Structure 1
């Protein structure tokens, strides 16, 4: 079907990281989805690093906040003191 002047078609969905449920809608419509991460690179790198610790190294990231010392996070300039570790980091 030819596009008519003034008509448009959906070529993809761009969703915020908090609206990832829309990915299912896009899949039903057979349209690609792009997730827009609204934070800067440091928190994204932190989340990815925690996921790597949990999955690749089988480490319980919930218990890290009660540890002593510092954690070297690749996306941070300086090491993160364990006392500053967010309490209740979700184990996703």
Structure 2
């Protein structure tokens, strides 16, 4: 294991790759919540060229597709108004 990865893991309690993936999911959620960008645009903005790969990655991390995540936000917002 490289010096960087070992020290990063000690400091952040995660690997650099996992940390980057976490940032991407957080940014994707924020964009889904606050913009009207489509999934392809969000995919590109967070660093994935393939929107299908991004959707699979998002589903694996969040338990639902980006579209389902956005729909759930809309339903929750309407429910509380």
TM-score by length of 1: 0.29
| Greater per-residue helix proportion | 2
Task: Please identify the structure whose Cα radius of gyration is greater.
Answer: 1
TM-score by length of 2: 0.32
